A and B are shown apart, each in its own frame.
Chain A
C-alpha cells in the first residue's frame, strides 16, 4: 500500500512539474514575441543586435527546459547527461568557424566584386510583381 501511495505521490509531483515547465515555456515565448515586436520599431543596429542576443539566450533557455524536463534528461544518471551534453559543445566551434568565414566571405565580395558592391547599395522598388531574380536585375539595369 505504502508503495502505491508513493508512486501516486510521485506522479502528482510529475504532473506539477509538467505544468510548471509549460508555464515557463509559455512565458519565455511571450517574452520572445514581445522583444520581436519591440525590435520592429527600433532602427539602431546596435540595439537590434542586443535584442537578438537576448532572444538567442531565451531560445537556449527554452531548449534547456524541453530537453531537461520534457525529455527527462535532468532526471537521468549524471554520466548519461554528460554523454549527451558534452558532444554538443562541438557546436561552439562548428558555429563560430562557419559564421566567421561567412562574414569574411562577404567582406571579400564587397571588396573585390564591384558588381556585388553596386548591387548592395542600389535600391529596388518595393512590391514588384516579378517572378525571378535575373529579370529584376535587368529591370534595375
Chain B
C-alpha cells in the first residue's frame, strides 16, 4: 500500500485550500462567484439560512391559514378568496382540499426544509470549518452542489403549490395508498409527483452535505484539535450528519418503490383496494405497513437530525454565557452517541396501532423508553452547567434556556407516547401534535434562534438589536406554551388530529373557544417572527458594528478569525489548539482560549 501517495494526496488537498486563500488577494471576485455560486462555506451557510427563513415564513403562514379554519370554522373571510384564489378559499372558508394540502406542506416544509436544511445546513456549514480550524469544507464544490440541490428541491416544492389539482395533501408522512393512487384524492395527482421529486432532490442535497460534514470533522481538524477537544456543537453536527447519511437512503428506497406503485402498475404497498368512482383495483399482495416501516426508519432518525444540532449549539451557548465549563463533557458526547444509535432502533413506535405485531411493538417500547436515559443526562448536564453560573442573559442565552425548558416539557410527554398501551388512546390525537411540536418543532426552532442570535456577529460583523430579541423571545416562549399546552388537554379528551371542522362533532364542540384561543395566539406568535425577520435583515445593514474580535470572551476558534473573515477564514496560519473548548473560570481566569498553550502550573480539571 503506497502510503506516500496517500499522504501526498492529503497534503495536496491542504495545498488546494491554501491556493483558494491566495486567490482572494489576487483575483477580484464577481457577484456570481461571491454570492450565488459561492464555494465559501460561510456564504453557503447564509444561503441555507435565508432559504430556510423563506420556507419558515411560508410554512408558518400555512399554519396560520389552517388555524384560521380550526379557530373560526363558521367565519367567512371573503377577502382571502381574492388573495389565494378559488382552489384554496371558497365562500370565505379554506376548502377541505386546501386544508389538507396546507397541513401536509406545513409539515414537510418545516421538518425537511426549515429544520433540516435550514438548521443543520446553516450551522454545520458555518461552524464546522470555523470551530475545527479548517479553511473550508473538505470539498467546497460538493458543498455548493448540496445547496443548489436544496434550492432545486425548494423550487419544485414551491411549484407544486400552483398546479391545478393542488399540492400533495396526504400528510407529510405520505402513507400509501392515499399517496400511491392518483385517483384517491386531487392532491395525490401532479402535486404528489412534484412532492416526490422535491424530496428526492432533497435527499441528494442532504447526502452531499452530510458526507462533507463527516469528512471535514474527521480529516480537517487543525493541529492539536483532537476529537475530545471539539466543541459540543461539532460533535452534535457530526452525529447529525451520520444519521442523515445512513437513514435518508432508506427513505429514498421507499420513495422509489412508491414511484413504481404510482406510475408503473406495481403493488409494493397496495392490496385489496376499492376506490370510490373507480372500483376495485387489480393490485394484490403489497402491504402499506411496509412503507411505514421504510418511512419511519428515516422518520425517526430525522427527528434527531432536527434536534441534535440544536442540542449542540445550546450546550455551547449555555457554557459560554454561564462562564462555566460545560458539565460532563464526555457524558454529553456519550449521550449524543447513545441517542444516535437508539434513533435507528425505535422507528416502529410511530406505528403501534397500524397492525404492527404487538410483541414486536413491546420491544420497540423498551428501546424507545431507553432514549429517556441519554436525554435525561443531557438535561441534567445543562441544568448543572447553569447552576451557580455567572449568567449573561443575552438573547441567544435566553433562547438556549428556553430550549432546555421546552425539551423537558415536550420530552416528558414522549414517555407517555412511547408506551404502546397508552398509545391506543393517544395516537392520532392533539396530544401527539402537542408532544412533537414542543419537543422537536419549537425546541429546535429555539435552538436555531439561539444559534442565530449567538453567531450573528460572526456571520455579518454586526449585532442584532437586543431589545427586539428579548421581545421576540418572551412572546415566542409564552406563545409556544399557550398554543401547545392546551392541545395536551384536547388530545387526552380524544380530539383527533387532521379533522377539518370540529364544530360538527358533539364530543368536540366544547373545544370551540379553546381552538379560537390557540389560533389567536398562533397569529400573534407568527407576527412576532416577522419582527425577528425585520431585526435580522435590518441589522445586516444597520446593526451595531462588532468592534472586538471576541465579543463574548469565548474560547472556541471561530473568535480567533478576523471580524469579517474572508474565504479561507484565517489570514495567516491556522491556529494550533492546546486545550478543550470549555476552560471558563479556571485558575481565576474568566476564560482561556483554545489556542493558548497549557501553562506549567495550570491545574487539571
A touches B in complex, CB < 8 A: yes
- Write the residues of chain A forming the contact surface with B, with a CB cutoff of 8 angstroms: 7, 10, 72, 75, 87, 90, 93-94, 97-98, 100-102, 104-105, 108, 113, 115, 132-134
State the Cβ distance, A103 to closest chain B Cβ, in Å: 8
User: Which residues 99-133 of B have a CB within 8 angstroms of A?
Assistant: none
Q: How far is the CA of A87 from the CA of B345 in the complex (A)?
A: 12
Which residues of B sit under 8 angstroms from A132, Cβ to Cβ?
282
**Do B246 and A104 have beta carbons less than 8 Å apart?**
no
Nearest CB in chain A to that of B297: its residue: A94
Which residues of A sit under 8 angstroms from B98, Cβ to Cβ?
none
**Do A101 and B246 have beta carbons less than 8 Å apart?**
no
B348 within 8 A of A: yes
On whether A93 and B345 interact (CB within 8 A), knowing A101-B360, A104-B360, the answer reads yes
Q: How far is the CA of A64 from the CA of B287 in the complex (A)?
A: 33
- Write the residues of chain B forming the contact surface with A, with a CB cutoff of 8 angstroms: 1-2, 242, 246, 272, 282, 284, 287, 289-290, 293, 297, 344-345, 348, 355-357, 360, 363-364
Which residues of B sit under 8 angstroms from A87, Cβ to Cβ?
242, 246
Q: How far is the CA of A101 from the CA of B272 in the complex (A)?
A: 19
**Do A108 and B355 have beta carbons less than 8 Å apart?**
yes
Q: How far is the CA of A10 from the CA of B297 in the complex (A)?
A: 45
**Do B344 and A75 have beta carbons less than 8 Å apart?**
no
What is the count of residue pairs linking A and B with beta-carbon distances less than 8 angstroms? 43
Nearest CB in chain B to that of A113: its residue: B272
**Do A101 and B356 have beta carbons less than 8 Å apart?**
yes
5 contacts between A and B (CB under 8 A): A90-B345, A97-B363, A97-B364, A102-B287, A133-B284
Q: How far is the CA of A132 from the CA of B265 in the complex (A)?
A: 11
**Do B282 and A134 have beta carbons less than 8 Å apart?**
yes
On whether A100 and B360 interact (CB within 8 A), knowing A90-B246, A133-B282, the answer reads yes
On whether A101 and B297 interact (CB within 8 A), knowing A93-B344, A133-B284, the answer reads no
On whether A105 and B1 interact (CB within 8 A), knowing A90-B344, A133-B282, the answer reads no
**Do B289 and A101 have beta carbons less than 8 Å apart?**
yes
Which residues of A sit under 8 angstroms from B282, Cβ to Cβ?
132-134
Q: How far is the CA of A108 from the CA of B345 in the complex (A)?
A: 24
Q: How far is the CA of A117 from the CA of B355 in the complex (A)?
A: 18
Which residues of A sit under 8 angstroms from B360, Cβ to Cβ?
97, 100-101, 104
State the Cβ distance, B180 to closest chain A Cβ, in Å: 17
Which residues of A sit under 8 angstroms from B356, Cβ to Cβ?
101, 104
State the Cβ distance, B186 to closest chain A Cβ, in Å: 26
Q: How far is the CA of A98 from the CA of B246 in the complex (A)?
A: 17
State the Cβ distance, B507 to closest chain A Cβ, in Å: 30
**Do B289 and A105 have beta carbons less than 8 Å apart?**
yes
Which residues of A sit under 8 angstroms from B364, Cβ to Cβ?
97
State the Cβ distance, A55 to closest chain B Cβ, in Å: 24
